[in-house]
Chains A and B, each alone.
Chain A
Amino acid sequence: MIADRGASVGLGSSFDRSLLLLVPATLFMVVLFVYPFIYGLQLSFRPMEGNWLANYTKFFTTDNLWSTIGTTLKLAVPATVINIGVALPIAYQMRLKSRYQKWVTTLLVIPLTLGTVLIAQGMLGYFGPRGWLSQTLQFLHLYEGPIRLTHNYWGVLISLVISGFPFAFLLTLSYITGIDPTLPRAAATLGASPWNQFRYIYLPLLVPGLAMAFALSFVQAFSVFPSAVLLGSPAGATRVISIAAYEAAFEQYDYSMASAVAMIMGFVQLLVVAAILGARGMFYRGPVTGGKG
């Protein structure tokens, strides 16, 4: 494999057999991802009734359909901003290797294992009107009456933070520790304050990683489905777009409409991701880990 490297890279004439290793994965993605996607796209233009654009017209003229985009964004954007915004300073603090780092990381990662249902049950119990939190607040006379943090917008937002923060933290931590620590050390030798080390060394190098972490966190928050049903009010304040898609497919059995909603969902999602990744192009791009090998 290595022997024919020169030929394949230099001249590009002889066929590089190691590229065959890509065939199974590519084939798999084409058959199970690209094909259904294209199938769904064309299915969305073949509505049960009306002309080829009927599904899309229906989506954008029906109140409880097109408003789901706004509802989803209103949940996903704040959740992502909170998750990355809190993960960044914490991960920055945790960047130095220590015993402490390992313990804190493990503790912060545990919520990843909870699962939507445990979070939902836990929130209904703990944050609910008669849960421990409510009882404690009343016991201490900090707040009278039952608190309302479930079956509404806040319930879903809190669950998105609980499940999304560990993920955002792990990613951010991983990007921060990927930055060569000799750079800030050099800056410190030249008298840079901790804030300036962060501002002029870490932050610019982090931007690509942060953009990626933001995009991936956003995908998770944007596709919120079970918690919007279990913790929100799925008919009202938290009627997110995936609920609309699910209802079309499995309650009305209108796969054409469901595909249209899925396509709109994917389009909005990709628009946001493209905007984030496009914005990062305005910052420094280059190696962050220094000389390797």
Chain B
Amino acid sequence: MDSHRLVAKLWKSLIALVMAFFLINVGLMIAAVATSSVAQRWLGTWLPAGYTFNWYLAAWKEFQLGGVLLVTVQVVAAVVFLSILIGVPAAYALARRDFPGKRLLMGLFLLPLMVPPITYGIPLATVMYQAHIAGTIFGVILSNMIPAVPFMILVMTPFIEQIDVNLESAARVFGASTFKLFWHVLLPLLAPGILAASLLVLVRTIGMFELTFLTAGPDSQTLVVALYYAVFAAGVRAPQSVDAMAIIYMTITLVWLLIALQFVNPTQLVSRVKEHPQTA
């Protein structure tokens, strides 16, 4: 019995150790970028020679961050809104109805999440260039919706399945029209789920590199793509201003993710179980 407990203790310590190792290294890595973004000069010493916030100003001007952020906000807002509009009704039908071809349709919605974005992004970009929508914000929004709509459907379907059908029947019995049923019964019940799913879509869209990269033009780049070009494109840039921009990017995503975590219990992302009284 005692040896069992010892093994369990060792195992727990091992896991804590692995987590600590991961977190410390990632933390120091972030710290390195943050330090560099405020460093005057930093060449192979423990800490930089002096500190300045000028790189943030430089990054803002040099990379036209104002415009880039505006595009990012527009793209993300449109993607989230449109995916709710298209995805939630579909999720409702999938959760409540059985019909021939349902598995096939589920497959269609699952497929974009199962193949790399580049795989469909390249043919998509080709089609969009022919239709002259590549390079526009509209094209970027459409391409980003391809993974967003299925994601919305897959997150919302189990959520809707959980809602008791009897509530809808009861509303019907009392004479609610379809619109009233939707507005007064379904929407309030679905609101937390929609909020959770759209926050996740939001975080995913801010970070979606490939699709935006393939379909964006110079005026329709989102933050991730602008950041990539800042590192990669020709011309010598001070690494510190790239670091400053990377920190700005991280802060924006982090804020949204932390907001999302307030509403989404990450443990209930894909499957739900009734809350049981807590046991040690």
Instruction: Find out whether the CB atom of A40 lies under 8 angstroms from the CB atom of B122.
Output: yes
Instruction: Find out whether the CB atom of A249 lies under 8 angstroms from the CB atom of B122.
Output: yes
Q: For A225, give its contact among B109, B115, B142, B210 (CB under 8 Å).
A: B210
**Closest residue to B253 on the A side, CB-wise?**
A113
CA distance A179 to B272 in the complex (A): 8
CA distance A173 to B239 in the complex (A): 37
By the criterion of a CB under 8 Å from any partner CB, how many residues of chain B are at the interface?
Answer: 103
Instruction: Find out whether the CB atom of B114 lies under 8 angstroms from the CB atom of A90.
Output: no
Stretch among B30-38, B51-59, B64-72, B188-196 lining the A interface: B30-38
Please, what's the 1-or-0 string for B215-239, where 1 marks a CB less than 8 Å from any CB in chain A?
A: 0000000001001101110000001
Is A236 in contact with chain B by the CB < 8 A criterion?
Answer: no
By the criterion of a CB under 8 Å from any partner CB, how many residues of chain A are at the interface?
Answer: 109
A residues 126-143 with Cβ under 8 Å of B?
Answer: 126-127, 130-133, 135
Is A2 in contact with chain B by the CB < 8 A criterion?
Answer: yes
Please, what's the 1-or-0 string for A174-209, where 1 marks a CB less than 8 Å from any CB in chain B?
A: 110111111001000000011000000000000001
| With A121-B239, A174-B267: A25-B247 Cβ-Cβ less than 8 Å | no
Q: For A174, give its contact among B8, B25, B112, B266 (CB under 8 Å).
A: B266
**Closest residue to B115 on the A side, CB-wise?**
A266
Q: Total contacts A to B, CB within 8 angstroms?
A: 298
Is B78 in contact with chain A by the CB < 8 A criterion?
Answer: no
CA distance A109 to B125 in the complex (A): 32
Instruction: Find out whether the CB atom of A242 lies under 8 angstroms from the CB atom of B89.
Output: no
Instruction: Find out whether the CB atom of A109 lies under 8 angstroms from the CB atom of B261.
Output: yes
Instruction: Find out whether the CB atom of B266 lies under 8 angstroms from the CB atom of A105.
Output: yes
With a cutoff of 8 Å between Cβ atoms, the chain B residues found around residue A171 in the complex are: 269-270
State the main secondary structure of chain B at its contact with A: helix
Is A289 in contact with chain B by the CB < 8 A criterion?
Answer: yes
Is B246 in contact with chain A by the CB < 8 A criterion?
Answer: yes
| With A2-B168, A21-B90: A90-B181 Cβ-Cβ less than 8 Å | no
Is A57 in contact with chain B by the CB < 8 A criterion?
Answer: no
Instruction: Find out whether the CB atom of B254 lies under 8 angstroms from the CB atom of A113.
Output: yes
Instruction: Find out whether the CB atom of B118 lies under 8 angstroms from the CB atom of A178.
Output: no
CA distance A179 to B273 in the complex (A): 7
Is B187 in contact with chain A by the CB < 8 A criterion?
Answer: no
Q: For A193, give its contact among B4, B26, B92, B114 (CB under 8 Å).
A: B4
CA distance A119 to B29 in the complex (A): 8
Is A115 in contact with chain B by the CB < 8 A criterion?
Answer: yes
| With A29-B112, A289-B272: A93-B118 Cβ-Cβ less than 8 Å | no
Chain B residues close to A by CB (< 8 Å): 4, 8, 12, 15, 18-19, 22-23, 25-26, 28-30, 32-33, 36, 43-44, 46, 85-87, 89-90, 92-94, 96-99, 105, 108-109, 111-127, 142-143, 145-146, 149-150, 153, 162, 164-165, 168-169, 172, 178, 181, 203, 207, 209-210, 214, 224, 227-228, 230-232, 239, 242-243, 245-247, 249-250, 253-254, 257-258, 261, 266-274, 276, 278-280
CB pairs A–B below 8 angstroms (15 shown): A1-B168, A21-B90, A22-B93, A25-B86, A39-B123, A109-B257, A110-B257, A112-B207, A112-B257, A165-B22, A181-B273, A215-B114, A223-B118, A226-B228, A262-B122
Q: Would you list the 5 A-B pairs with minimal beta carbon distance, nearest first?
A: A40-B123, A178-B271, A223-B116, A25-B90, A122-B29
